[in-house]
Structure 1
Amino acid sequence: MPSAEVGGGGEPQQLMSRGYIFWLMLASFGASMAMMVPLSYGIAVRITELAPGHEEVLGYITGTAQLVYLVISPLIGIWSDRTRSRLGRRSPFIYLGTAIGLAGLVVIGFAPSLLIVGAGWILGMSGWSIAGAALQTLQADKLPESQRGRVSALTGLMTQIAPVLGIGVAYAVSSSTMLIFVLPGVIGALLLALFPLFKPEGSSKDLPRRDQVTLRSVISGYGFDVRKYPDFAWNWLGRFVFFIGLYFNTTFGTFFYAQRLDMPVREVAGIVATVGMIGVLAAAAGAVVGGFLSDKLQRRRLFVLLGAVLFVVGALAEATAWSLPQIIIGAVLMQLAIALFATVDQAIIFAIIPERDQAGRYMAVTQFAQKIPAAVAPLLAGVVITIGAVGGDKNYTLLYLVGGVLALAGGLIILLKVKSVR
């Protein structure tokens, strides 16, 4: 099996094989499809069925689910680091997360009220996030420096493509609310489950046992020493600010398209899928340029800033768009920017992670920089779109402009403050 010494404190050295990377890409694709189709389309459909005209509820549902996962993610990370099993430390959490996520989607499909939809998405989002976090931690465990950019590019590309194809799948079965949720979820679950079967992680039974979990160790698992690890801290902050801007400009995408194109929400899936398919090429370019070139040039921070700048340009295009061509231009630029930023920043994280034998915990802390914005930004965005709103039209212009400014600020923080990575 192509891996480094799992659980050791040193840098991974052994290169990942092409076969391992291929199955990792498929698993990343599956996790993204199962998570993002409900988030970007399915839940909006359920809201229009159960409470038409109350699109701000989307922010409450997604924000609450993110907050719940935010609380449990360090516990999952600590548990993962200490797991000793024949399947390894991370693989059991791929299976656990997949089962919980799929159950949550079924609950949403049957839900008779928005309260049950919210409860179902807490399960669904938590489950798919647990599985996705296990995949990322495996990369932190195994990836040597020379492969971090390109493998992050390839897995990041899968997470860009999966929602687009997934929404296409959902649109094809849009006459059935249940299938909108379950079909992408089943596809995602199969791809996740196959990864450890074809590329087993290896037993962790012989790894040294860590200290027993105590209340103090759990509490400390929610943070880290900022003074001891300044680069990790600054990167965390830059990522946090960037993702607030990103979620400002993506959470209400389905409703944004419906308003600007004067279409019913249920019919927007075709537009979302079409725009997304066009944007896949841009996302591919962003991931490949960012990942492969940053590996080759051994420069990371410059590409992070470039991603933030491109995001601003895309946000400006979306904020002023009232036609499909301009919406496509803005969406393509933002997909390019997100892929570029996320790919290279993930490579930075793998390089500066403080204690590799606690990679699960530190990756969970890193996820705070994405999960807190995912929880808070939809709630704030639900307020922002009401500022200056006229009649039934929400103020998406203001929302997209604010999101662009925040994304740029995040890129600048990483460029100017992270010193140990070029």
Structure 2
Amino acid sequence: MVKPSYGDLPPKEAESAVLTDAGSRQGPPAGIPDIEAPALKKASASYLTLISLANFGVAMAFIVPMSYSLAVRISQLAPGHEELLGYVTGTAQFISIAASPLVGVWSDRFRSRLGRRTPFMIGGALLGILGLLGISLAPSVLLIGLGWVFGLFGWAAAGQAILNLQADRIPEEQRGKISAFSGLSAQIAPVLGIGIAYAVSSSTLLVFLVPGLVGLALVALFSLVKREGSSVGLVHNSTVTVKALLTSYTFSPRKHPDFGWNWLGRFIFFMGLYFNTTFGSFFYAQRLGLPIKEVAGTVALIGMLGIVAATAGALTGGFLSDKLRRRRLFAFLGGLLFLAGGITEAYAHSFITLLVGALIMQCAIALFSAVDQAIIFAVLPDRAQAGRYLAVVGFAQRIPSAIAPLLAPFIIVLGAAGAEKNYTALYLTGAALALIGSLIIFLKIKSVR
């Protein structure tokens, strides 16, 4: 067996590179060759900064379309048919979800001078840019949907590669910090991105292209400055069978109960989150009586004020959970805060009330995301196959992002009066689901404090 090279990270004396964090190893499915995990060593401050910036860029590139620019584009081509946004985003998510474990397995065993993960970061960002360009020029909703299939798949692959690198490189004592930085960047990126999109809103092309170019530039910066190292020597002694690929979409909850409970709790939490965020632009437009194209300024203002709340949530969860070595309690606190914010927004009809609810929810999302990502790294069945298992973890977030936009249109028309959609029911449902998800993680996971 040949161990791959991983740049400037020599083996850590106290840890075998072939062991998971729990000290045991779950072998790969039949048909997928054995792979050694790179050794863990404390990452430098510059490495943490640059990988967080890369994550920030990817988040801006794909969250801005989901939260603002796709809604604007669809309203231009099909005014009055906001349900089409759910169909476009949901369809793209399903296709991207279906392909993600294949990308994960491929990434785990990819041989190149750039490493295992870097080609997927760069290639995904380039594909994402092409998708955004296609959406900006599309003459029909059908072509917008096609462009978003490519755009979302590309940016999702880039984001997945960044997460895989965190599992490859970041030791337990820094996982709360990097999770906090990642969660915080995912909160700040769309806020700044929507502000940028609003500033260039006179050009449909720039609304899509500028956030994408920011994402590409930051991914390239990280890849060039912090080189992953060659994986040319990665063991490659058999082909991956169809059966093994199908197996890569699954895991055994019986063998890995904590991984399974975290997956379920995360799934339910994010179902609630996407109920309360997918139609955010339309929700604010209705409650404030604004045209959809003019709501970007309000969304950006609320988001910018929410940066402080998101920072507090992410840093509290990440740094304190590292210091106290307690993760589950903070995940549950995130669910409680989300419930409070969701209820506040559900009954809000003024800017001030909407602002208060949004601030609470942004703090809650950042807090939960920071801690739960650290929990994920701790309960991975096999760190050597981080790409595969993190793709499965991704299902817990990405399946809700596909299902919620398809279910939400049915909820908002229940009891709706005329053109007024029932966003109260939608936000209450989302808040309840988020609390249930966090409660599962708090009560059921045993191997993480």
Alignment check: 8 A CA contact 2:272 2:430 kept: yes
Q: What is the CA distance between 1:206 and its match in structure 2?
A: 1.9
SS of residue paired to 2:307: helix
Residue matched to 1:341: 368
User: Residue 382 of structure 1: CA displacement?
Assistant: 1.3
Is 1:316 paired with 2:316?
no
Q: Which moved further from structure 2: 201-210 or 176-185?
A: 201-210
Q: Which AA in structure 2 matches 1:235?
A: N
Find the residue that maps to 2:211 and give its secondary structure: helix
* Deviant stretches of 4+, over 6 Å: none
SS at the partner of 2:255? coil
How far the C-alpha of 1:357 sits from its partner, in A, is 1.3
Cα deviation, 1:54-103, whole Å, max 9, x if unaligned, reads 11111111111110011000000000011011111000100111011000
Alignment of 1:5-404 (within 5 A): 8-11=18-21, 12-209=39-236, 211-404=238-431
Cα displacement string for residues 18-75 of structure 1 (whole angstroms, at most 9, x for unaligned residues): 1111111110110011011111110000111001111111111111111001100000
Cα gap change, 1:329 to 1:3, in 2 (>3 Å): farther
Residues 227 and 10 of structure 1: CA distance in aligned 2, closer, same or farther (over 3 Å) = closer
- Rounded Cα–Cα distance in structure 2 between residues aligned with 1:325 and 1:4: 53
Instruction: Give the corresponding residue for 1:412.
Output: 439
Which secondary structure state, in structure 2, belongs to the residue aligned with residue 421 of structure 1? coil
Q: C-alpha offsets along residues 257-312 of structure 1, whole Å, 9 cap, x if unaligned?
A: 00000000000000000000010100000000000000000000000000000000
Residue identity in the other structure for 1:278: L
State the Cα distance separating 1:211 from its structure 2 match: 3.6
Q: CA deviation at 1:13?
A: 3.3
Conservation of the 8 A alpha-carbon contact between 2:200 and 2:207: yes
Deviation of 1:210 after TM superposition, in Å, equals: 5.7
Q: 1:358 to 1:328 in 2, by over 3 A?
A: same
What is the letter of the counterpart of residue 66 of structure 1? Q
Using the TM superposition, give the Cα deviation of residue 209 of structure 1 relative to its aligned residue in structure 2, in angstroms: 2.5
CA-to-partner distance for each residue in 1:353-406, whole Å, 9 max, x for gaps?
001111100000000000100000110011100111111110000000000010
Give the deviation of 1:7 after TM superposition: 7.2
Matched positions, count: 422
Cα distance in 2 for residues equivalent to 1:226 and 1:299: 23
Contact 1:4 1:142 in 2 (8 A): no
- The alpha carbon displacement at 1:416 in A equals 0.8
Residues 15 and 385 (structure 1), Cα distance of their counterparts in 2 relative to 1, 3 Å cut:
same
What's the CA shift for 1:10? Answer: 4.0
Give ranges in structure 2 of 5+ residues lacking alignment. 1-6, 22-38
Secondary structure, aligned partner of 1:67:
helix
Contact 1:31-1:189 at 8 Å conserved across structures? yes
Aligned letter for 1:249? Answer: N
Q: Does structure 1 retain, via aligned residues, the 8 Å contact 2:275–2:405?
A: yes
Does structure 2 retain, via aligned residues, the 8 Å contact 1:2–1:16?
Answer: no
| CA–CA separation in structure 1 for the residues paired with 2:349 and 2:128 | 36
Q: Which has the higher helix share?
A: 1
Give the distance between the partners of 2:437 and 2:315, measured in 1 at CA. Answer: 21
- What amino acid is aligned across from residue 81 of structure 1 in structure 2? D
Q: What is the identity, as a one-letter code, of the residue corresponding to 1:392?
A: A
Give the percent of matched residue pairs that are identical in Structure 1 and Structure 2.
58
366 and 201 in structure 1: CA distance in 2 versus 1, 3 angstrom threshold: same
Q: Aligned to 2:122, what secondary structure does the other structure show?
A: helix
* Contact preservation (8 Å) 1:2, 1:20: no
Say if 1:7 and 1:356, in contact at 8 Å, map to a contact too.
no
Deviates more, 1:204-213 or 1:127-136: 204-213
How far is the alpha carbon of 1:197 from its aligned partner? Answer: 0.3
Name structure 1 gaps, 5 residues minimum. none
Q: For 2:278, what is the secondary structure of its paired residue?
A: coil
> Taking structure 2 as the reference length, what is the TM-score of the superposition?
0.92
**SS of aligned partner of 1:74:** helix
Q: Distance in 2 between matches of 1:169 and 1:140?
A: 32
For residues 291 and 428 of structure 2, the distance between their equivalents in structure 1, rounded to whole angstroms, comes to 25
**Does the CA-based 8 Å contact 2:17-2:40 persist in structure 1?**
no
- Name 2:30's counterpart in structure 1: none
- Relative to structure 1, the CA distance from residue 149 to residue 258 in structure 2 (aligned partners, 3 Å threshold; closer, same or farther) is same
